[in-house]
């Protein structure tokens, strides 16, 4: 019961970040499951896939209602990441848990840096005519899509996170999406990658449902709040808050992992 109650505020916070930003704060899922709930790292990454996938799906539905999800580009992007997701899931089983957490801390710092960089930009690219996804793809654009899609898929499989801090800028830069469309489409990609990675791990047999169900329910509710928040609060302000939180958690995770390895 105590663990279930602890999961509620953590899930709410993570859901808000996914709904508002399309990623970044979802990286708090694994550290929360390991250090607050007491899950082992491998089980935590599997549970994270359930939580992040379900939350991303909820956010996708909310964005789709306002026609801010571009399904065909998103499906193409998500399918590109399947190979990376399968590879990441396979490698997850071979890595020392503390090494996994140390690498995870490094990715969290990268996510924080990417969020801070975006928040510092005075203007955002908001093109009125996104690039075509079929018939007008250049070789350079295809390479960019393949690279970003594979990286996102690998991160999902290996770390149990959505990789939204990579996919959202990738959609903006590579396909010319506006920020709202990039977040909505990115959530759909995250949900797809999560399902693939979870299937590659053999399903949900290792998931502790007494923790995951309340965590996921709170995260799904938080994603609804996040979608509404994104329409009222500047994304740059939200990114700075979550970037600071990610940095603090990353330093703590890295310190504990290094001490455990020494």
Report how far residue 49's alpha carbon sits from residue 183's, in angstroms, rounded to the nearest whole number.
18
Query: Is the pLDDT reported for residue 80 higher than 90?
Result: no
Q: Which residue, 218, 237, 158, 198, is CA-closest to 32?
A: 218
Q: Structurally, how many domains does the chain consist of?
A: 1
What mean pLDDT, rounded, does the chain reach? 79
pLDDT of residue 4: 55
Name the residue with higher pLDDT: 233 or 132: 233
pLDDT of residue 255: 93
pLDDT of residue 126: 47
Q: Which residues in 17-50 are b (16+ Cβ under 10 Å) and which e? A: bbbbbbbbbbbbbbbbbbeebebebbbbbbbbbb
Per-residue pLDDT band at 25 (split at 50, 70, 90): low
Query: Is the pLDDT reported for residue 40 higher than 90?
Result: no
Per-residue pLDDT band at 123 (split at 50, 70, 90): very low
Query: Is the pLDDT reported for residue 125 higher than 70?
Result: no
Query: Is the pLDDT reported for residue 119 higher than 50?
Result: yes
> Percentage of the chain surpassing pLDDT 90?
5
Q: Which structural domain range is residue 71 located in? A: 2-261
Least confident range from 134-138, 210-214, 250-254: namely 134-138
Report how far residue 78's alpha carbon sits from residue 124's, in angstroms, rounded to the nearest whole number.
24
Query: Is the pLDDT reported for residue 121 higher than 80?
Result: no
Please give the average per-residue pLDDT across 62-89, as a whole number: 87
> Percentage of the chain surpassing pLDDT 70?
83
Contact (CB, 8 A) for 88 and 155: yes
Query: Is the pLDDT reported for residue 7 higher than 60?
Result: yes
pLDDT of residue 167: 79
Q: What is the pTM assigned to this prediction? A: 0.77
Per-residue pLDDT band at 259 (split at 50, 70, 90): very high
pLDDT of residue 122: 39
Query: Is the pLDDT reported for residue 258 higher than 90?
Result: yes
pLDDT of residue 170: 74
pLDDT of residue 166: 74
């Amino acid at each position: 019961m105590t663990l279930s109650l602890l999961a509620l505020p953590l899930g709410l916070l993570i859901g808000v970040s996914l709904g508002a930003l399309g990623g970044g704060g979802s990286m708090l899922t694994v550290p929360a499951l390991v250090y607050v709930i007491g899950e082992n790292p491998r089980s935590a990454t599997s549970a994270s896939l359930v939580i992040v996938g379900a939350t991303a799906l909820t956010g996708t539905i909310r964005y789709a209602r306002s026609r801010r999800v571009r399904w065909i580009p998103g499906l193409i992007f998500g399918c590109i990441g399947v190979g990376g997701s399968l590879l990441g899931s396979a490698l997850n089983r071979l890595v020392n848990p503390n090494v996994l957490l140390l690498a995870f801390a490094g990715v969290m710092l990268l996510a924080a840096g990417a969020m801070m960089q975006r928040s510092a930009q005075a203007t955002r690219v908001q093109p009125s005519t996104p690039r075509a996804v079929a018939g007008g793809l250049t070789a350079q654009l295809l390479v960019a899509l393949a690279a970003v899609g594979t990286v996102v898929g690998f991160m999902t499989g290996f770390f149990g996170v959505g990789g939204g801090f990579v996919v959202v800028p990738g959609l903006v830069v590579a396909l010319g999406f506006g920020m709202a469309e990039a977040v909505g489409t990115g959530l759909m990609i995250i949900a797809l990658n999560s399902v693939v990675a979870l299937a590659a791990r053999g399903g949900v047999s290792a998931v502790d449902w007494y923790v995951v169900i309340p965590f996921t329910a709170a995260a799904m509710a938080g994603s609804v709040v996040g979608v509404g928040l994104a329409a009222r609060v500047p994304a740059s302000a939200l990114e700075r808050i979550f970037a600071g939180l990610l940095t603090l958690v990353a330093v703590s995770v890295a310190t504990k992992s290094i001490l455990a390895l020494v």
